Amino acid sequence: MSSADTPFWDSVDQIRAADPRFRREAYGFVMAALGVTVQALPSERRQDVERRHLSGPELLRGVVAFARHEFGVLGPAVFREWGVRSSLDVGAIVFQLVQAGQLSARPEDRVEDFADGPELFEALSQGLEFGGPRLDPESGPRRDPGGPGATLPS
């Protein structure tokens, strides 16, 4: 059986047997993000095999966008749990899948291409609300310094 004939999760298990840095879920997520990112391309680009190819930074932006959609503010925690700590880790997953025959790459593609994309955790967190009340200092309740939990009228 050639590597192209190996079922995806079997390939992931083989990759992880040799290099257990990343959780299984990370590989599935990268593949799902790749699919979503390709589907979001303009139809004329999607139809052309050469132009459909994503660069490292394009795929990384797709991974970040999909993670923000799927996980919101929990994105950084999910990626940490999976062992994915940087943009280059996403590139490592991609190239492990290339070596396993699950993805293809152009001869000029390199794992270092992912370093040219956004910094992973900064991109996952950018512009997201992390909870807690947002108080306008001019109109929000004021604490009475004389008593715990007491508020003064605005």
Residue 151 is predicted with a pLDDT of 46
Residue 114: count other Cβ atoms within 10 Å of its Cβ.
26
User: Is 143 in a helix, a strand, or coil?
Assistant: strand
Residue 154 is predicted with a pLDDT of 46
Residue 3 is predicted with a pLDDT of 57
Closest to 101 (Cα-Cα) out of 14, 41, 20, 30: 14
pLDDT < 70 stretches in the chain: 1-4, 128-154
The residue assigned the tokens 């996980």 is: 71
Distance between CA 82 and CA 87 in Å, rounded?
A: 13
The full DSSP string for 7-34 is -HHHHHHHHHHH-TTS-HHHHHHHHHHH
